[in-house]
Structure 1
Amino acid sequence: DAGECLTIADKQEVWHLEIMGAGKGNKGAVWAAQRVPDDHVSVNANASTIKEIDTNDKEYFMYSDNVFQLALDSGWWDGKQTFRFCYAYAPASRALIAARRREWRVFDLLAPSLQLDPNMENYPFSVKPDTLVSLEKLMTILKDYYEGTEYDIRKNITVKGDSGKMVISPLANPFMNVDELKLHKVNGGWHGYGERNIAVRFTMYATIIQCRDWLPDEIGGLVWFALDNVASSVFVPIYCGVSDLPLEYKTDGRETGFSRKAAWWAFNRLGTLAAQRWGTFRHEIDKTWIPFQEHLLENQATVEQKALQMYNAKNPKNTIKFLTNYTDEWCKKAIDTAWDLGYYIWTKYDGYW
């Protein structure tokens, strides 16, 4: 394994922990961790991002005892140049434009004033956003596929529109498989795979996690959870205090085959249908999911206030029951809506693909 980055967060801090094997034939691991400053955002997109390690700054850096010696012994660092973790242990990852492009995109969406170059080899470990980052903004970023930039892989798949001008074909989609990319002669930062979007068709699930220290844990810990391709999905709230989930969210679908009993299939089916004519179907999806998502976000404060009013630290069962029922209700609504939207698209546009 080339290594892994684990994002570790609690109510006070967020850290990136990068861990790799200890080299061929060696047992154990080597790792480094860097804390994200409280007013910053950081990105890990399948490439190592930890560079210099300040051994005197225990508040922002941690590392394994072997981090320097192993690099020396293995010939991955000469001991003279400045030690940079990513170049000692994962240099190939910094060469991946598919990873770096996503680093750039997140930073550029949140801190456009920095005017970062989309082709840089290295970006800062973290940056301060130009404005406060909302939940809505994070959801939008996770749905992104470089629309409006030169890295949108649909840009050259054009037809003459009703106005007589060339426009992106409604059949062009940002989630093309390898055969479609070959057919349309699409290349990019991911070479024959086009561009590595933030939103991709092979996503299993995505999460946005809130850790809030001004609320009891049962209420303050909240996972916004989306299944399959985020661009055609919706985030539902799952509170830390829930005691159960709908059966559909506990039923495996990917390994056992198509089933209406698995929530994943409702969203995977919708995403697959939407990609067949993205330029048209995306608008049907937006008409459904945007108000659905807005309602959940607008209702969040009211729900949490009710949960807080009934909260008893010694016996929080009423709060747990309330939040479990709320999560259950909206998870089921999301599943039903995904199935219904798929049927609607299938029926209304039969013959358009």
Structure 2
Amino acid sequence: MKKWIGILGGVILFSTATLTAEACTTVLVGKDVSYDGSTIIARNEDMGTAWAKHFVVRPEKSLERDYVSKGNGFKMTLPENNMRYTAMPEWDVSEGMYEAAGVNSKNVSMSATESATTKESVLKLDPHVEDGMAEDSIVTCVLPYITSAKNGVEYLAKIVEEKGSAETNGIIFSDKNEIWYMELLTGHEWVAVRVPDDQYAVIANTLSIQQIDWNDKENVMYSKNLKSFIEKNKLADKAEKASMREVFGDLEEDGHYNTPRVLAGQNIISPSLKHELTEESFNLFEKPDEKVTLPKVEFVLRNHYNGTKYDTYEGSEPEKFRPINVPRTMESHIIQARNDVPEEISMVQWVSMGVPDTSSYVPFYTNITETPKEYQMGTDKPDAESAYWTYRMTNVLTVPYYAEFKKEDVLPVRKEVRKHLDEELAKTDKEAEKIIKENPEALQEYLTKSVKGFSDYSLGKYKELNSDLIIKSTEKTKVDHKKSL
């Protein structure tokens, strides 16, 4: 990839780009413990500090059937007609699409991938397939064709068992009823578990599925040879009691890089757990202390060990642990499958471009025909129009004077934007319900126009904020004037 290096206001603006989301954090919330009965899946996509993501709608029947990855040469023949779906591709697709996350017209969601690593000793037994399914292809080749969360696991599993996987990854599927979390363990072995309705998970770049019930067909799925693979290669004393994480995971970097993020996220949602960030183990699923709201999920995704000595902006040991919110977060998304509104408006994809700590989550109904043009723009060079660079610049301008600018400027705007968007979303829901009853053909046009309004409002507020931050930054420059001149 190209290397772009630059500095603005003392903040690194460009960095080496490598096309893999090597450092992401995921939050999954079962419907019984979400504040409104929704299933919620969310993830930060981390890769580069100056690498724009786009947010688009792929129309039905728009994909070429003979699919070839520009990243690793993976090939497959796609079904004849793809469904409409939302996607979050790279601005430059010359090395792959990397569509990251979206929702299809059957109201099935997918977020991929949560990158992880497998022990080299295990990979020697079943190596990754160089031209197998990889992150750049996974959403494009799966999401437009699946009809439920569980079907998503089955669909991807078939591809992996036939063509192999090029990477170790975690993938999330959801619909209004359930969430499934799937891990690709080796070239052909995989495992998936259903997120309990009364629990949640925080996942951070490490294989996280532990002991499974091999006989629980309702809540567990796995590759046909997984058990025999473990037994034949003597990877555990007893396969029935084996932890997939312990058997397959390369956990060498977890103490610094991964586990602290999981523990920090669990401390936010379940303060009663009182984890120390130096703990070495965690449960994949936990019960929250109270119902989980969208702002609580956002707080997890924005976390940088706030208020502790490990705080990456204000702590005394900022490099001790890798935080959830990092400068190279390109986008953060929360996909909400609502059960208290009509099916036609049930799916909302909340999108935060740039670094979520200084950005806003904007709601997008996914039953739309197109996204605002600002979300289809942006490259690796700053501009004044794209959604990515508008929100990215807020972070660049805030960090040099973080304590002051975050509290006095960014937070008030973020709160104002969220209040407005929540109110507008509620109003739009009510009007949309009327349209569904009286003139359903007009619904998509109405929703498309509505999300444009949501986007315009937020972008306008952040452009004003950026102007204010530039002025305040300039005023921080010390100039000694001679009275005689």
Question: Normalised by the size of structure 2, how large is the TM-score?
Answer: 0.60
Task: Please name the residue that 1:187 is paired with.
Answer: 319
What is the deviation of 1:304? 0.6
Conserved 8 A contact 2:397-2:473: no
User: 2-side partners of 1:63 and 1:335: how far apart?
Assistant: 44
| Counterpart among 473, 476, 479 of residue 349 in structure 1 | 473
Counting strand residues as a fraction of each chain, which structure ranks higher? 2
Task: Please name the residue that 1:58 is paired with.
Answer: 217
Within 5 Å, give how 1:213-224 maps onto structure 2: 213-224=339-350
Q: Summarize the Cα distance change of 1:135–1:95 in structure 2 as closer, same or farther, 3 Å threshold.
A: closer
Number of matched residues? 311
In the alignment, structure 1 segments of 5+ residues that lack a partner are 23-28, 158-184, 190-195
User: 2-side partners of 1:343 and 1:261: how far apart?
Assistant: 14
SS at match of 1:350: helix
1:30-80, CA deviations, whole angstroms, 9 ceiling, x for partnerless residues?
111111111111111111110111011112211111212223444533447
Higher mean displacement: 73-82 or 224-233: 73-82
Task: Please name the residue that 1:168 is paired with.
Answer: none
SS at match of 2:332: strand
1:39 to 2:198 alignment:
yes
> Residue type of the partner of 2:429?
E
Conserved 8 A contact 1:218-1:320: no
| Counterpart among 234, 240, 262 of residue 360 in structure 2 | 234
User: 2-side partners of 1:273 and 1:39: how far apart?
Assistant: 40
Identity across aligned pairs (percent)?
25
User: 2-side partners of 1:306 and 1:56: how far apart?
Assistant: 47
In the alignment, structure 2 segments of 5+ residues that lack a partner are 1-115, 118-167, 478-485
Task: Please name the residue that 1:86 is paired with.
Answer: 245
Task: Please name the residue that 1:30 is paired with.
Answer: 189
Conserved 8 A contact 2:231-2:239: no
Conserved 8 A contact 1:8-1:16: yes
Q: Summarize the Cα distance change of 1:17–1:81 in structure 2 as closer, same or farther, 3 Å threshold.
A: closer
User: 1-side partners of 2:227 and 2:252: how far apart?
Assistant: 19
Task: Please name the residue that 2:65 is paired with.
Answer: none
Task: Please name the residue that 1:293 is paired with.
Answer: 418
| Counterpart among 331, 337, 345 of residue 455 in structure 2 | 331
What is the deviation of 1:280? 1.4
Q: Summarize the Cα distance change of 1:21–1:81 in structure 2 as closer, same or farther, 3 Å threshold.
A: closer
User: 2-side partners of 1:321 and 1:30: how far apart?
Assistant: 44
SS at match of 1:38: coil
What is the deviation of 1:120? 2.0
Conserved 8 A contact 2:328-2:355: yes
> Residue type of the partner of 1:187?
E
1:286-342, CA deviations, whole angstroms, 9 ceiling, x for partnerless residues?
1211111122123432221111111049x6332212211110111122223222211
SS at match of 2:425: helix
- Over aligned residues, Cα RMSD in angstroms? 2.2
> Residue type of the partner of 1:116?
H
Question: Normalised by the size of structure 1, how large is the TM-score?
Answer: 0.82
Conserved 8 A contact 1:55-1:61: yes
